[in-house]
Structure 1
Amino acid sequence: MYRTVLSFLMLAISVFAFGQDKQDFWLGADISGTTELEAAGEKLYNSKGEIRENTALMHELGLNAVRLRVWVNPRGGFSGAQDVLEMAKRARYYGMAVMIDFHYSDWWADPGKQTIPAQWQYLGYGEMKTKLWEHTHDVLQLLKDHHIDVKWVQVGNETTHGFLWPMDRAEDNMQQYAGLTEAGYEAVKAVYPEAKVIIHLDGGCDQKRYDFIFDGLKKFGAHWDMIGLSVYPYWDIKGNLEKDWQGTVRDFAANIRHLYQKYGSECMVVETGAEAQKPVEGKRIMEAVIRAARNDCDGHCHGVFYWAPEAEGQYPLGAFANHRPTAIMDAFTEAAK
């Protein structure tokens, strides 16, 4: 009995001193672009110069989860259902948890564009709810049929202004946005009852945009299990939301505490990134983001996912140079120890 009590006290002290237990905190990356890179003949390497498949490389770097986007009818099939299945199988091989991110578009969906898929563009609201449910259900059922354990599902990607525009722009028709969100929620639970349904917004430092969306969703009866935040100091500074990266780190953690207090919602940083050309600073930023997520959110932030670390060239916030991980990814490797 004495030993049991002593062990419990030691565990409590450890959690208090060092933040969340590592088993309850996820370090991940969105590596949805992997197969398209492979099709283009690109190769990735570890720091020793050894060729690595991207999922294997993320696992080698200490990550324990991957995030995979789903497009409805994409050109070339990249990020379509079969492509997502292929990537999910790779994650399963390495024992990595899987997050599925439904964009509800044939291409990128984000706060600046939420384009209705071409085959859905003439649907009415009721038909759209049915189609969204079927698409969500069918993709997830495909994964389940192949024994993929999906841990989290995003119903929409950065839906700060709703999705499926103009039908469900949040500022114009919050009720319909909530109704379609609920259709997605119900579809997820029909296939993976234990999966956490995430609603994901950008600008994680900006409490007002989160209050607007989640007040509206709550008012019209939509459900969610977790709130996903994008945390990008680079974009926050460019958008005049913050003056420096320290402000982003401080304010996203404060927002997570606020979201739990107001809505009872657990949270996760589902996207983050730093400038690839400034790897030393980028590592410092990622260390700060991970540390804040673990230690400054009262235990209500459950992970940090880097967006497209393997991206080079056209996107400024990757974490690779010469097809190899930079010091930015060391922040994740060190956090995993």
Structure 2
Amino acid sequence: MKIKNIIYVSLLALMLADCDRKSMENDFIRGFDASAVNDEWNKDKYFDFDRQKKDVFEILKNNGVNWIRLRIWNDPDNPNNPEKPGASNLTTVLNQAVRAKSFGLKFLLDFHYSDYWADPGKQAIPQSWLDCKTSDEVSRKLYDWTEKVLKALNDANASPDMIQIGNEINTGILTGYYENGKLKPLSSVIGGSSTRSKENYIKYLAAGIKAARKVCPQSKIMLHVAEGGGKIEWLLDMYKEANLDYDVIGLSYYPFEKTHGSIESLGENIKFFRKKYGKEIVIAETAHPWYAKSALDADLKNATANLTLKNGKIYPGITENKGIVSASVQNQAAVISAVAKTAKDAGAKGFFTWGGEYLGSWRYGMFSDKGKAFESLKLFQADF
């Protein structure tokens, strides 16, 4: 082969390798949960670094975000809720999804299957489902609601690219109900506790998955659990034994939560889960505060413990004050970047921040009280 051809082939190979690398970088999920952008205290108040008022989804896209996460509640106006949690009903989510898609963003839909916040401490059945007498009736309600929401999104040309069946479902799904703002336990006959009513728990997850597969066969299915660096293998074993048809293990990892484990244990879990369960892994939620009421805030103490490596040092790049990880805009970016890099190095497909869309006094937000983007928003442009 002539020397000219050899040089050409070598250059072509380098170009293709570079393209492959960039393609892999672009495929890495740099996600932002933007669920509350239509809540009245946030609506139409977002400004980019150029001080220009813009659609928040445009601001996010311009700063490296490539996926949006949106939660949906059944009826956030339910008067039995402890308070109005926000505006994330079907109408709101349709509006948000269409806007996000118009800017070329991919979209993860987060079903809470509740009228209020769902997490390991509370998984309340929607008020309109309380007349169900059997788990089969509940399962049908869950299937129908999932189908209804996804069909509406399809009709609006805003189908989700990934669908989350439940939110932080460690303790179960549909395990309680609200009455005059008070959470009460649901009968085990229809409750879906992961320990006391395992059959119902699996049945409800399967119903949601079945509806999602039917309406959006192109979408990936996520099951989302908290305590990403903790001892959660028993839950994933349960899904495997039940042969649940899902694609992605979603993990919440908040360094400021003691039970979420160390950042090194998060990386170890990701590697282990990928190998044992053969699923993709995504950090579905992570965050760090930009301010705290005190330098010894409990969240900062927990973050310090979880971000301290086995060599006794704080994860590189994270600022500390007298041995405690501090709360600042700089550290907000540094901590989230550390989680993203740990996840990526362990083989995860990406991450989503949580609470970043809240303005001002919300300590995990990425915008000032006047709606101007914080410098931490630029973290989504990093290589990790």
Aligned match for 2:281, one of 241, 244, 267 = 267
| SS, match of residue 276 in structure 2 | helix
Aligned match for 1:258, one of 272, 276, 287 = 272
| SS, match of residue 63 in structure 1 | coil
Alignment of 1:23-172 (within 5 A): 23-37=26-40, 43-75=45-77, 78-123=87-132, 124-165=134-175, 166=186, 167-172=191-196
Report if aligned partners of 1:67, 1:99 keep a CA contact under 8 Å in 2: yes
Shift of 1:324: 2.1
Show structure 1 runs of 4+ deviating over 3 A: 1-15, 312-315
Paired letter, 1:311: Y
Shift of 1:7: 5.0
1:306 aligns with 353
More strand by share: 1
2:334 aligns with 284
- Give identity over the alignment, percent: 30
Task: Output the TM-score relative to the length of structure 2.
Answer: 0.77
1:326 aligns with 374
Aligned match for 1:317, one of 338, 360, 364 = 364
| Aligned mates of 2:26, 2:43 — CA distance in 1 | 36
Shift of 1:193: 0.5
Shift of 1:81: 1.1
| Aligned mates of 1:321, 1:128 — CA distance in 2 | 42
| Aligned mates of 1:125, 1:188 — CA distance in 2 | 19
| Aligned mates of 2:227, 2:156 — CA distance in 1 | 35
Shift of 1:42: 5.9
Report if aligned partners of 1:203, 1:231 keep a CA contact under 8 Å in 2: yes
In structure 2, the CA distance between the partners of 1:4 and 1:178, relative to structure 1 (3 Å rule), is farther
More helix by share: 1
| Aligned mates of 1:289, 1:4 — CA distance in 2 | 39
Shift of 1:220: 2.6
Shift of 1:204: 0.8
2:214 aligns with 190
| SS, match of residue 195 in structure 2 | coil
Report if aligned partners of 1:160, 1:201 keep a CA contact under 8 Å in 2: yes
| SS, match of residue 66 in structure 1 | strand
| Aligned mates of 1:41, 1:151 — CA distance in 2 | 25
Q: C-alpha deviations, 1:32-90, integer Å up to 9, x for none?
A: 1111136x666121123221222122112121111111111121882111111000010
Q: 2:70 matched to 1:22?
A: no
Q: C-alpha deviations, 1:236-255, integer Å up to 9, x for none?
A: 3xx4x54xxxx32x221211
Report if aligned partners of 2:119, 2:167 keep a CA contact under 8 Å in 1: yes
Shift of 1:139: 0.1
Which protein is bigger by CA-based radius of gyration?
2
Report if aligned partners of 2:110, 2:164 keep a CA contact under 8 Å in 1: yes
| Aligned mates of 2:248, 2:57 — CA distance in 1 | 25
Output the aligned Cα RMSD: 2.5
* Count of residue correspondences: 320
| Aligned mates of 2:336, 2:165 — CA distance in 1 | 26
